[in-house]
Amino acid sequence: MAALELGYESIGFDLNPAMVVAAKARSINPRDCNSLSPLAADIIEKAGKEKFDIQFDDPLTTWLYPQGAGIFRRIDIAIQKLLLPIEQHSIDGERGVNCMSDIAAFFYTAMFRVLRDVLKPFIPSNPTWTKRPNLNNRLSIEEQSVFALYIKQVNEMASVLQFESWGLTALSAKTTIATGTSEALAVDDSSIDMVVTSPPYCTRIDYAVATMPELAILGYRPKDSFQDLRRKMIGTSTVPVAAPTIMREWGEECLTFLERLRLHDSKASSTYYYKSHAQYYASIYNSLKEIARVMKDGGKCVLVVQDSYYKEIHNNLPLITAEMFSSIGLKKITSLDFPAKARMGNKHPSTKKYGLRRATESVICLQKSAYNCPL
C-alpha cells in the first residue's frame, strides 16, 4: 500500500492466501469507498435468500454448528455471485485469491472480522492459537445477528478507508498482490530495485494456525489443504522426520546456536526443537537466496527481524540473517535497533524462570553490489 501511494510499481506476495486477501482489501481505490455500504446491503439481501446445504466437512463447522456455518457460507456465495466471474465460483474447495478483485477481497475481509468476533470464546490469551472445541461444544448463532455484524463491520472499514484516503489522488501505479513465491510468480532475475520484508521471527508462531478461521472461510480444510499450507510456511511448528542438512553458508552465529541447542539438557532439545530450528533456518536461507536472485545490481533490501531465546540461549536472528546475506553477496549498509513492545515468548509460564526478556527488533539495510552507497 505504501508503494502504491508513492506511485511505485510493486509486487506483494505471501504464501498465506488470507493475508493476500487482507492486503488486496486495503488497496481499494478511494473513489470506490462510497459504493461499499450499498454493495454490503445487496450481499446480505442475496445471502438471506440463498438456499444452501452445508457440507458435513466444511471447515467452518470446526467451531460452528452446521446452521451457523451455513450463514457465513451463504455470505460467501453471495459475494461470489455478485463480484466474481462464474468460472471463479467455488463452494467445495479453496477460493482462488490471485484473480480476486480488491472489492471482493474487501468483503471477504469483513467476513474474516465478523467470524473473529463470533469466535471470541475460542480465542485464548495467545491470540495466535484458536481453540478447536469438540462437536458438542460448538457455537450456535443467529442469522440476523451475523448479518447485522457484517453490515456494521463493512461500514466501519469503509469509514476508515475513506479517512485514510482523504486528499489522495486516484491510485494508478501498477501493483500485483498474489499468493505464492517470487519463483512461482516468475519474477525475473535482477529485476527488482528494492525488497522490503519482515520474515516470520524464530518464535514458533504458526502463522497458518494463527489465521485458521480466515483460511476456513476461504475453504481450507483442517486435514487437507490447511495442513499442506502449514507445512510450507516459514516458522511452522510441524517438523520433518529428519533435520535439514546444516550448511556452513548459514554462518558461524547460526551454526553455534544450533549446536548449543542440540546439546542442551532440556527435554526434546536434540530432537524436536533442534529439527524445528534447523528447518526454520534452512527456509530463511533459501528465502534470502531468492531475494538476492531477483534484486538488481545496486538494489537495496530492508529486512525487519527480531531476536529471541531458546531457554537461556540467545537466538540472534539479526546477526544470523546478516551473515547469511553476506555469504550470498549482499553487503550490510546499516542497521537500526528498536526495543519490541511485546514479546510472544514471555506469555508461556515456563519462561518466567529465565526472567522477563525484552526482545529487540532490527531493521537491516543491505545492498547487492561490490561498492557502498547511501540507502
**Which of the two residues, 375 and 28, has the higher pLDDT score?**
28
* pLDDT of 298 above 50: yes
Q: Are strands 360-367 and 192-197 parallel, antiparallel or unpaired?
A: unpaired
> Is the pLDDT confidence value at 273 over 80?
yes
The answer to which of 151-160, 186-195, 266-275, 354-363 has the lowest mean pLDDT is 354-363
pLDDT band at 375 (very low <50, low <70, confident <90, very high): very low
Residue 339 pLDDT > 50: yes
pLDDT of residue 166: 47
342 pLDDT above the threshold of 80 = no
Q: What is the pLDDT of residue 374?
A: 42
* pLDDT range class, residue 60, cuts 50, 70, 90: very high
pLDDT given at position 312: 93
User: CA 45, CA 16: separation in Å to the nearest integer?
Assistant: 30
Confidence of residue 167 (pLDDT cuts 50, 70, 90): very low
Please give the Cα distance from 154 to 111 (Å, whole number). Answer: 9
Task: Give residue for cell 545490481.
Answer: 297
Reference 3, options 193, 184, 185; nearest CA is 193
Mean pLDDT of 165-169: 50
> Checking DSSP bridges between strand 192-197 and strand 295-306, what pairing results, if any?
parallel
Residue 341 has pLDDT above 80, yes or no: no
Measured CA to CA, the distance from residue 201 to residue 245 in angstroms comes to 21
| Residue among 40, 115, 106 at smallest CA distance from 78 | 40
Give the Cα separation of 371 and 375 in Å (integer): 12
Write down the pLDDT at residue 371: 52
- For helices 66-83 and 36-49, angle between their N-to-C axes, nearest 10 degrees: 130
Predicted confidence (pLDDT) at residue 101 exceeds the cutoff of 50: yes
User: Is the model's pLDDT at 164 over the cut of 70?
Assistant: no
Interval 116-137 mean pLDDT: 88
Closest CA to 106 of 34, 12, 22, 165: 22
Amino acid, res. 31: R
CA 319 centroid distance within chain: 24
**Does the pLDDT value for residue 145 go beyond 90?**
yes
Task: Report the range of poorest mean pLDDT among 66-70, 213-217, 277-281, 371-375.
Answer: 371-375
Least confident of 44-53, 130-139, 142-151, 364-373: 364-373
Query: Checking DSSP bridges between strand 360-367 and strand 331-339, what pairing results, if any?
Result: antiparallel
